[in-house]
Amino acid sequence: MSSRPVAYDNLRIALLEDDDVLRDAVLVPRMRDFGFDLVAMRTAAELQDMLASDPPDVVVLDIGLPDADGFELARNLRDSDPRLGIVMLTGRGETDDRIRGLVEGADAYLAKPVDLGLLAATLHSLARRIGRQSNTAFRRSSGKWHLDADGWCLITPSGHSVALSKTERRLMKPMMAAAGRLVTRAQIIDALTSDVHEFDPHRLDSLIHRLRRKVNSASGEALPLTSVHGEGYVLQA
């Protein structure tokens, strides 16, 4: 398990995916970037062992498992534990399959190739529902831009929640701490890396551009981040 602090350090997430590359090279490391540690496995039998010894809070599963039908497994999981978070992550994106997955008990049905930000936002939402955040008190929107208790979600004035990656979280923290005031490019870069001499300054502008686009796409709201030419940025929170 990663030594990096995670947002949901008490949340146990089981990931059932029989594609070794997708599971171990994409989903597990990228979800860690969003603050989650996943227990990876490829069979329903492995999940049954986990259920017997240390039950998970959330299960992310594919439909086409080598030793089980994902729909049937979701139904059995829901019958055995109504509070369990269940996310179906599958290549079968037809409407009938989506409906069946939700009817069988899934909280969310996501089709591959999945947007990793959407998967992270889904896990954040389930974590709040089952009350396993490291700070369980969910902060409702205050009418201002702010970070949630753990800093892994950006909350918009209207209450939309945008899941942040590790880099985006580091980017937003100094902005929020100095809301309304200039944060210099040097200060932001210092928050992003431990070796400022190896960091390409042009990368900062690209990161901010992508974050603006991501926030607008997820919430329909424009991130009020103003560029001060040659100096830095000001967040009008």
Residue-wise pLDDT for 74-128, tens only, equals 999 999 888 899 999 998 889 999 999 999 999 999 999 999 999 998 998 888 7
The alpha helices in the chain, defined as continuous H runs, are 20-21, 28-33, 44-53, 70-80, 95-103, 116-129, 166-177, 185-192, 201-219
Q: Tens digit of pLDDT for each residue in 208-219?
A: 999 999 998 888
Domain(s) labelled CATH 1.10.10.10 in the chain stretch across: 146-235
Neighbours of 113 (CB within 10 A): 10
From the candidate CATH numbers 3.40.50.2300, 3.40.50.11290, 3.40.50.970, 3.90.1150.200, the one assigned to the domain spanning 13-129: 3.40.50.2300
Please tell me the least confidently modeled range out of 43-52, 125-134, 172-181, 205-214.
125-134
CA 44 to chain centre: 24
DSSP states of 39-104 as a string? EEESSHHHHHHHHHHS--SEEEE-SEETTEEHHHHHHHHHHH-TT-EEEEEES---HHHHHHHHHT
Please give the CATH architecture assigned to the domain spanning 146-235.
Orthogonal Bundle (1.10)
Q: Is the pLDDT of residue 132 over 90?
A: no
Contact criterion met (CB below 8 Å) for 151 and 7: yes
- The residue to which tokens 């399959």 are assigned: 97
The structure's pTM equals 0.68
Between CA 135 and CA 119 the distance in angstroms is 21
Domain(s) labelled CATH 3.40.50.2300 in the chain stretch across: 13-129
Q: Is the pLDDT of residue 9 over 60?
A: no
Between CA 223 and CA 109 the distance in angstroms is 28
Higher-confidence residue: 33 or 7? 33
Separation in Å, CA 152 to CA 56, 158, 204, 219: 21, 18, 19, 16
What's residue 139's pLDDT?
Answer: 42
Question: Between 116-129 and 201-219, two packed helices, what is the crossing angle to 10 degrees?
Answer: 60
| Maximum Cα interatomic distance, the chain, rounded to a whole number of Å | 59
CA 73 to chain centre: 24
- pLDDT bin (cut points 50, 70, 90) of residue 178 is very high
Residues sharing a CB contact under 8 Å with residue 145, sequence separation 6 or more, in sequence order: 154, 155, 156, 157, 176, 179, 223, 224, 235, 237
